[in-house]
Amino acid sequence: MSDQPAEAVPAVLPVMIRSERLRLVLMTPADAADMRAGRHQDRWHPDYPRPDDVDAAGMLREGDGWGPRHVVLGVQAVGSIGCYGPPVDGETEVGYGLVEAARGAGVATEALRALAGEVDRLGVRLRAAVEPHNRASLRVLAKCGFTQLRGSDEDGNLVMARPQPVPQP
């Protein structure tokens, strides 16, 4: 028997996360390549990807379930959501956004709640940075339990976090 501690198995999010109306589908390398090259896929809303979605695709690391995902409503991707990498010290940052046509119908809230539920199950805390004047995103974060204001980042965005979850067996 060794006195060395066992290495922790990295927490992994499922490939597909589902909610009542949505599927949060991991981006593939082919998706990211199409997004960066300006090629449109039939399964994407005509206004998707937005510039922020293309930026998110740039964070794709193959095999990393913490990366960017398409927010699929019905049969079309209408936005993206994902973490900026695997957790460090039990915490990771989330980002999300939708095409204009999908806003105002609770899609962002539903997507963030679905992702947060899976992240909570793993005992990982989520944080988010939001522009102070982005009232819609501030409402989404509040509805999803982001209650801890941590000040602002170097870009002047408010940094908010959810309370530390208790991992579920």
For the segment 10-36, the average pLDDT, to the nearest whole number, is 93
d(CA 35, CA 56): 10
pTM reported for the whole predicted model? 0.91
Question: What's the pLDDT tens digit per position in 86-104?
Answer: 999 999 999 999 999 999 9
pLDDT for residue 152 is more than 80: yes
Question: pLDDT at position 1, please?
Answer: 44
pLDDT category of residue 167 using cuts at 50, 70 and 90: low
- By DSSP bridging, strand 158-161 and strand 125-130 are antiparallel
Contact residues for 30 (Cβ-Cβ < 8 A; gap 6+): none
Closest CA to 107 of 159, 132, 56, 144: 144
- Rounded to an integer, what distance in angstroms lies between the CA atom of residue 156 and that of residue 10? 32
| The one-letter amino acid at 35 | M
CATH code assigned to 16-161 = 3.40.630.30
25-37 per-position pLDDT tens digit: 999 999 999 999 9
Residue with tokens 């206004």: 47
Q: What are the residue boundaries of the structural domains of the chain, listed by start?
A: 16-161
